[in-house]
Amino acid sequence: MKTICLLSLVLLGACEPQCGTPDAADTAPDTDVETPTDSDSDGITDADELALGTDPDNADTDGDGFTDGEEVDTGTDPTNRFSWDYASGQFPDFSVDAEGITDTGWGTGDIMPNVQLSDQFGNALELHQLHGHVIVLAVNAGWCSPCRTAAPPNQGVWEEHREDGLLFVHLLLQNTSEQAPSTGDLMEWATDFDIEFPVVADSEDSLVTGLFNSGLYAGSIPFFVVLDSDLEIDSAYTGDGGELPPAVVRALELLAD
């Protein structure tokens, strides 16, 4: 019996180094794994930004007011300043690009002042935040039959050319009751014509007053103003002009230049 016990102790002792309780250091989690770097905190790692062609040190590579991460999440192109989530209820903001621009007036060849508007989502919208687009600004009213005839084709033309830099802006002077338009009236106009571009009101009437005082606008609607990419007034037209108004033709010519 003593021999057996001694043998057991010897065997137990022999396996102790290999079969004993593991050292705590052997079971500790690996804390040396590197966290992927996101230098500009836009929600995309630097490695993925290099693959996408975006700038890992700039959260908004194309400068449209939407971060690269937001654009990737919505399926738009973070390297194309004219590609943004058109149905988001938010419009691009290129105000930084317009900082060096000086307002010069309301006539042809002038830089249009930075009028303060409100859009169909109830948000403030400044004209100069749309810098870089060729803009067709259409002055309408809810009660105006020719305005309602001219409005429907605009969305389709914009869809075709929007990623080239074309933008429509519909300014509503009055609603169907000849009253100042509410946010609901703006949204109703956008809904009636399936519009995703800005439909705006000017509570101060500063825009039409400026155009009228300059002699560019005689008071008839629909009235169209074409602005080049530097917000310079290029030309103006009165009347719906059919399927493709002269204002749209001119804007497409500016895009092609």
124-147, pLDDT tens digit by residue?
999 999 999 999 999 999 999 999
Rounded Cα distance, 110 and 105, in Å: 5
Same domain, 47 and 168: no
Rounded mean pLDDT of the chain?
Answer: 88
Q: Is 8 helix (H, G, I), strand (E, B) or coil?
A: helix
Q: Which two tokens stand for residue 175?
A: 């609603």
Percentage of the chain modeled with pLDDT above 70? 86
Same domain, 209 and 159: yes
Match 């917000």 to its residue by tokens. 231
Does the residue 7 lie in any domain? no
Does the residue 160 lie in any domain? yes
43-64 per-position pLDDT tens digit: 899 888 988 889 999 999 988 8
pLDDT of residue 53: 85
What residue type is assigned to position 149 of the chain? T
Task: pLDDT band for 241, please (50, 70, 90 cuts).
Answer: confident
Percentage of the chain modeled with pLDDT above 90? 71
User: What CATH number is associated with residue 97?
Assistant: 3.40.30.10
pLDDT > 70? residue 69:
yes
Does the residue 230 lie in any domain? yes
pTM above 0.75, yes or no: yes
109-123 per-position pLDDT tens digit: 999 999 999 999 999
Alpha helices in the chain (DSSP H): 2-19, 24-27, 46-52, 68-74, 145-150, 152-161, 183-192, 206-214, 246-256
Same domain, 58 and 158: no
The mean pLDDT of 11-28, rounded to a whole number, is 50
Does the residue 11 lie in any domain? no
Does the residue 246 lie in any domain? yes
Rounded Cα distance, 223 and 238, in Å: 5
**Domain stop point among 24, 55, 85:** 85
Rounded Cα distance, 27 and 5, in Å: 34
DSSP for 172-224, written as a single string:
E---TTSS---HHHHHHHHHHTT--S-EEE-TT-HHHHHHHHHTS--S-SSEE
Match 């180094």 to its residue by tokens. 17
pLDDT of residue 32: 59
**Domain stop point among 67, 85, 103:** 85
Same domain, 171 and 74: no
Instruction: State how many domains the chain has.
Output: 2
Does the residue 120 lie in any domain? yes
Structural contact between residues 124 and 118, judged by C-beta atoms closer than 8 angstroms: yes
Which residue range is the domain that position 181 belongs to? Answer: 93-256
Task: pLDDT band for 231, please (50, 70, 90 cuts).
Answer: very high
